Chain A
């Protein structure tokens, strides 16, 4: 378990796109990725299912000693993650390179 997977959701993560996102995240876990980087730089909106998929992936990775990282969430996405409480656990990064290059912390 060492690979890093980068997932880039569409600009609007609605009902349809959240299923796609969920599949991509699931595939990353099944492929044995230790780090999953979710690049939110193009994401303008994310719905509850999309956020649920990210949270679930974070918990699955945590259980296996891995990590999920968010890159460049916009104000709405950041606020939504804050409201859900997940920003207390997840690290956010300014760029994909920074996120992918950072070591896993044992929080």
Chain B
């Protein structure tokens, strides 16, 4: 009897040890997945800049060539442009993958200069805005130093800008603003594209908790929502014919401690 009780205790102890080991392995795996997501997110962002430079280099090269030479190198230039577009397409695919991983978002908090994050994000879209003939503008309020995940706040701003970019055409305008309010700050992106019917706005916001990538607009909005929520903030969409359509995210000056992850 004593022997059986001893064996049972031994089994229980081994189970508890194994359970602890599994928990540890699980934590390590979660950390690795987070590192992979963060790497993909930052890498795709960083690769965009040299791609943009290469595209511009091709355009400049073309403009410098005499007409007879230009026609003789037309084919290799086309190949170069096509392949750059292909790489760009791949980057977008990888970005989509990182966005889909945002439901398990972890943040690394530190001091944040919000306007610097927003300016960096705007600069990313200048090449696209220039080539599409879109006016991309900014009005930045004085924002006191904040706390948050600077890389993710940059991504949040880019997602808001993309939400607008997808809706507008040549000759239209996007205005990015920051506003200090309610012990936090708003990042607002307004476009003068078509007015969104109220039911579409409601549908878009309602769908954020059960993300289904069926409409293109939902990908950036979903990503923005996840990042704002992880900071203890929120997302807002307003659309009317007088002020245009505004995608806004509010972030607290200092996010709640429980959403903080130290790595």
**B127 interface neighbour in A15, A84, A89, Cβ under 8 Å:** A84
| Chain B residues touching A, majority SS | helix
Question: Smallest CB-CB separation from A61: which chain B residue?
Answer: B63
**A45 interface neighbour in B56, B138, B173, Cβ under 8 Å:** B138
Contact residues, B117-150 vs A (CB, 8 A): 119-120, 122-127, 129-130, 133-138
Report yes or no: B56 in contact with A86, Cβ–Cβ below 8 A. yes
Asked if A102 CB lies within 8 Å of chain B CBs, one says: no
What string of 1s and 0s marks CB contacts (under 8 Å) between A64-89 and chain B?
Answer: 00000000000010011011111011
Asked if A47 CB lies within 8 Å of chain B CBs, one says: yes
Answer whether A84 and B57 are a contact pair too, CB < 8 Å, given A76-B119, A79-B119.
no
Determine the distance from Cα of A80 to Cα of B126 in the docked complex, in whole angstroms: 8
Answer whether A47 and B124 are a contact pair too, CB < 8 Å, given A59-B63, A85-B56.
no
Report yes or no: A48 in contact with B135, Cβ–Cβ below 8 A. yes
Report yes or no: A48 in contact with B136, Cβ–Cβ below 8 A. yes
| Chain A residues touching B, majority SS | helix
Q: How many residues from A make CB contacts under 8 Å with B?
A: 25
Question: What residues of B have a CB within 8 angstroms of the CB of A83 in the complex?
Answer: 49, 52, 120, 123-124, 126-127
Question: What residues of A have a CB within 8 angstroms of the CB of B52 in the complex?
Answer: 83-85
**A49 interface neighbour in B53, B64, B122, B135, Cβ under 8 Å:** B135
Of B50, B60, B125, chain A has the most CB atoms within 10 Å of the CB of B60
